[in-house]
Every structure is written in C-alpha cells, then in structure tokens.
Amino acid sequence: MIRRLTLPALLLLAACGSGTAKTALSIPVIDTLAGGIVHVKNNGPTAWADTSGWRWVSVATINPAEGTPGELGQIGAMAIGDDGTVYALQMKPATIKVFSPDGTFLRDIGKEGDGPGELRYGFLGIRGDTLVLQDSNNSRLTLFLTDGTFLKTVPSPCCYSWPRLTVDSAGRAWLPGPGTGDKGAWYLVRMDGTTADTLLMQPLDDFRKAKTWTVTTKRGGNTMSMMMLAPMQPSTTFEPRIDGMIVSGHSSSYRFAVLRGATDTVRIFEASAPTLPISDAMRDTLFEKATNNSDEATRKALRESAKKDDIPHTWLPWTHMSLDRAGRLWVTLPGDAGEITRMQVFDRNGYLLGDVPPPHRKMLFDTSAWGRDRIAFLDEDDDGRPVIRTFRLQTTLAK
C-alpha cells in the first residue's frame, strides 16, 4: 500500500521575487517494503527548482608562502571545527596544521614520533573541542584539544585506509579494519580505547565484476602488485553517518540505502538520472588522468596494463557521494563538463532537495572534510603545490 507524504508548502512551490508560484515541485512517493524497510522514490526536487536553492560560497584559499611556518606539505587528512577552524594532518613531517576560518595559519599541533603527544600518518576526526587522530602506524588513538593541548593516547584496532574519520554523536570513532573472510569491519571505539561495537562491512565484489588494471612494479629486490578499477566502473561506496547509521550506494543506479550494520537495511531512497554518452575526447581525458601517476615506475606500469577500451561509452548515473555533518547526502552527477557536472543533495530522510552548483571538481574527493556549515578540500595551485579551499553553505533560497 503506497502512501504519499504531505510536505510543507515551502517544499511544494518555488516562489519568485513577487511571491507568486513559479514551479511546482515534487512530492516523494513513500512505500513500506517487506521487513518494514521504508522506500522513498523521488520524482524530482522537493525544495527548489533547477539551481535556485542553496549555494556554496568561497571562504578561504589556504596557500601559505614557501618557507613560512604555515607552508603546506603532503596533507593526508583534514577536519573542521564548528567555528570553521581547519585542521590539516601533514604527513612529512607529521604534524597537525591549524588555520583560522579565514585561512590564517595559527599553530602546529603535535610532532612526528612515537611517544605521547607525537604522531605518524593516520586519519583525523573532530568532536566538539577534541581532535581525534587514528595513528595507523602505532594502532592507537591520540587525542588533543583544539588549542593544541595533548590529552591522552589509547590503543585502537588497526587498520584499513579510509578517507575520513567519523566520530559519531555517541562519541565513538569509526575505525575500519579486518573482519571475517573477505569482509572488513567497522570498530566503534570510545574515547577511552574500548570497543563499543563491531559491525561487518558489506562485502565488496566490485573488482570481480568490473574492468581492472593490474600494476606490477619492482623496487630493488621487491616486486609489488596492485589492482585498480578502470575509470567509470560501477563500484560500492559506503560511509558512516553521525547518528550511527551507514549510507551505501552502488554507482550503477541512482539508489541508496540506509543501513544499521552491514545487512540490516532500514530505508532505501532513489531518484532518476539520465543515461549520457561519454565522448571519445572525454574518454581520452579520463584515460590520461587515470594513468598519469606522479611516480614514474607506477606510471610506466599503468601504461603497459591499462586499456582505453575498458572505459565505457556511457557515464555512470553518479560519480561521488559524501555525507555532511547533518546527515545529508551530497552526490555528483556526470555530464558535458565531465564526471562532476551537477551536484544534488538529499536530506537525511532521503528526499531529494534539489541541485546545487558544484563549486569545484575536487569538492567531494577523499581529502575533503565537513564542518557544521562548510567544507574543506585539497587542491593544487598552478605550480603543483598543495592548496586547501574552504566553502560555506548558504541555505537561504535564491530569489
């Protein structure tokens, strides 16, 4: 039995400057599937039409001059405080660089090493006034106050590589690591180092079904091999939400699931996305980008293994997804401008709010970090030096 959701009038009509109705918006169709799973089908945007809604506004471009204390090295992870302060985990030498909301360098936190208050490479999260560093090399969590005060170090499980460290509303750090069989697991670790829960991840079968490139390199007496997906292969993405749920999507369809654990689906939401061709010129661009590794040995091995014919002739329905601190899902869609041509946002219930113009193609990449009302992400300047860009979300509807 399908029931229709009644939304407030604001979500039904987009008003023009004179206050008269301009465009009728969509009402999602909500159904309850077997097992009590809520299904949300979006037939269009519910909050604003076209791109007349929310906006991303540039706040700062963080690019301190060479030789200054704030100069950026290799940045591996970032976090943003509620006030907009940016914390960037630098890998070499290992330290946390702190910048004010307007991009002014403030201080370094911690230094490279293995002792108390020292750190190596890892992942960075934040909750309130506490920075949480998963130090992968030492299998531990290191906690600092945002003013730089060292609090403590506690043991933690270790460790898969993951782009962002989520600290949920219950104060648990979500740490990815080995599970059972071919499954990974989420270890939900309290700030005292105890594991509150362990959740198996969804098994990933992307590499068995997609076109892959095997890259083999020799360094000294060692031979190393890695496997990577060819561009535009459908794959699974999943990310913890701050309320303890997991949001998952497979890029072969514009459909997402909210899960409690690896298999307990509580909500499914979807929308429509057009099937669009990839031009030959764009396929050339994708191929060059995928094989142009900065390491010469890896680049050579990629060129020997990679085949442009492995790149499909049609775009995936969507290309990147990421959850903000409010639990909203941001998704990029491909088109004439490449893999990030459009951006759409869903609220935590799975209702498609509308399109938001993407301010930059790297916005939802792995090194991005969400604050309360803003995002920071890593980019490069014209000389190849690292740059951190921050944008603030303007949620008043455009007139």
* Digit-coded pLDDT (tens) for 94-129: 999 999 999 999 999 999 999 999 998 889 999 999
Contact indicator for 164, 212 with CB cutoff of 8 Å = no
Q: What is the distance between the alpha carbons of residues 384 and 331, in angstroms, rounded to a whole number?
A: 27
Q: How confident is the model at residue 14 (pLDDT cuts 50, 70, 90)?
A: very low
Please tell me the least confidently modeled range out of 19-23, 92-96, 210-214, 318-322.
19-23
pLDDT (average), residues 137-162: 89
Using the predicted structure, report yes or no on whether residue 10 has a pLDDT greater than 60: no
pLDDT (average), residues 187-210: 82
Please tell me the least confidently modeled range out of 244-248, 326-330, 348-352, 361-365.
361-365
Q: What is the distance between the alpha carbons of residues 244 and 260, in angstroms, rounded to a whole number?
A: 8
Residues 6+ apart with CB under 8 A from 209: 234
Q: What is the distance between the alpha carbons of residues 242 and 371, in angstroms, rounded to a whole number?
A: 12
Q: How confident is the model at residue 67 (pLDDT cuts 50, 70, 90)?
A: very high
Contact indicator for 162, 235 with CB cutoff of 8 Å = no
Q: What is the distance between the alpha carbons of residues 18 and 180, in angstroms, rounded to a whole number?
A: 60
Q: How much is the pLDDT for 207?
A: 60
- Work out whether the CA dihedral 78, 123, 373, 340 comes out positive or negative: positive
Q: What is the distance between the alpha carbons of residues 370 and 363, in angstroms, rounded to a whole number?
A: 10
User: Counting beta carbons within 10 angstroms of the beta carbon of residue 161, is it exposed (0 to 12), middle (13 to 18) or buried (19 or more)?
Assistant: exposed
pLDDT (average), residues 155-162: 80
Please tell me the least confidently modeled range out of 43-57, 221-235, 242-256, 273-287.
221-235
Tokens for 15? Answer: 């008003």
Helix axes 296-305, 280-291, angle to 10 degrees: 140
Pick from 261, 241, 244: nearest CA to 350: 241
Q: How much is the pLDDT for 17?
A: 41
pLDDT (average), residues 334-359: 95
Q: How much is the pLDDT for 210?
A: 83
Q: How much is the pLDDT for 178?
A: 83
DSSP string, 40-105: EE-SS-SS-STT-S-EEEEEEEE-PPTTSTT----EEEEEE-TT--EEEEETTTTEEEEE-TTS-E
Q: Which CATH number fits domain 3-394: 3.40.50.12280, 2.120.10.30, 3.40.50.300, 3.90.180.10?
A: 2.120.10.30
Residue that has been written with the tokens 């270890």 in this structure:
187
Contact indicator for 317, 251 with CB cutoff of 8 Å = yes
Alpha-carbon distances of 27 from 9, 10, 13, 399, rounded to whole Å = 11, 12, 11, 22
Please tell me the least confidently modeled range out of 63-67, 145-149, 160-164.
160-164
- Work out whether the CA dihedral 5, 334, 234, 259 comes out positive or negative: negative
Provide φ and ψ at 102, rounded to 5°: -90, 5
For residue 19, the tally of other CB atoms under 10 A from its CB is 7
Contact indicator for 242, 256 with CB cutoff of 8 Å = no
For residue 205, the tally of other CB atoms under 10 A from its CB is 11
Please tell me the least confidently modeled range out of 9-13, 17-21, 90-94.
9-13
Q: How much is the pLDDT for 203?
A: 65
Q: How much is the pLDDT for 209?
A: 74
Between 329 and 155, the higher pLDDT residue: 329
Contacts by 10-19, CB closer than 8 A, 24 or more apart: 10/47, 11/46, 11/47, 14/48, 14/49, 14/52, 14/397, 16/399, 17/399
The amino acid at 162: W
Pick from 346, 321, 317, 353: nearest CA to 334: 317
The amino acid at 51: T
- Looking at every residue in the chain, the average pLDDT score rounds to 88
Tokens for 56? Answer: 């991303």
